[in-house]
Amino acid sequence: MPMKRIFVPLVLVFAVFVAAAALIEQRRDASSEGASPAASGGPLGLIGSARPDFSLPDLAGGMRHAQEWDGRVLMVNFWASWCIPCRREIPGFVDLQEKYGDAGLQIVGIALDEQAPVERFLSGLGIEVNYPQLLSPDSAGIALARAYGDAMGALPYTVLIGRDGRIEFVQFGELSAAQAEHRIQPLL
């Protein structure tokens, strides 16, 4: 009867394995924050890691470097003029910059776009955007968004970085001002 002796422990081991696999799957699903499963491997792995560097021109032509905002809570928002949901986010971000700028929040927009459509787009907003807009057209912009975890090159894409320069939160797609505020407040 050695079959019988092996059978019970074997089934138990298998059941534990299935339970563990189901649990891991469940937890991974629960923390995916709007990322598709195929894309979530990238950004979720980035949480807690140091933010990638960038040096990009602003709309006035001056070079801006990520280091100039070291020590502040940095929210990097990737967008483009052809992106409707990106347009919907910006007024709420202007309010957040106004409300929390003195407390240490710095929002930076990175447009994966050319200067002319970006300027047209921003002037069409009818409000003054009170945070820097940097330009990163062509493949360099997509590569930078990818380095920040946007594996699909989809927009808008927003990354929140703590005062220590570590990535705290990423969001695929539209981020409401209320959602952003909820994430920003504990970091200030």
Partner 1 sequence: MINGMSELSRHSKPARRQVLRLCALALLLASGAAAADGVGGMLSGLGQKLGLFEKEQSAFLMPDEAFVFSAEARDADTVVVRWRIADGYYLYRSRLAFNLQDDARLSLGEPVMPAGKVKEDEYFGRTEVYYGDLAVTLPIDRSGDGAARRVRIETSYQGCAEAGLCYSPISKSVELELPAV
* Residues found near partner 1 in the complex (CB under 8 A): 7, 11-12, 14-16, 18-23, 25-27, 29-39, 80, 82-88, 112, 124, 142, 152-156, 171-175, 179, 182
Minimum Å distance from CB 66 to partner 1? 22
Nearer to partner 1, 16 or 103 (CB): 16
Strand partners, 109: 77, 133
Question: Cα separation of 156 and 182, whole Å?
Answer: 18
Cβ atoms of residues 110 and 78 within 8 Å: yes
DSSP character for 156? S
30-33-38-43 Cα dihedral, nearest 10 degrees: -120
Minimum Å distance from CB 25 to partner 1? 8
Nearer to partner 1, 37 or 48 (CB): 37
Nearer to partner 1, 87 or 163 (CB): 87
Minimum Å distance from CB 102 to partner 1? 25
Structure token digits, residue 115: 């200067």
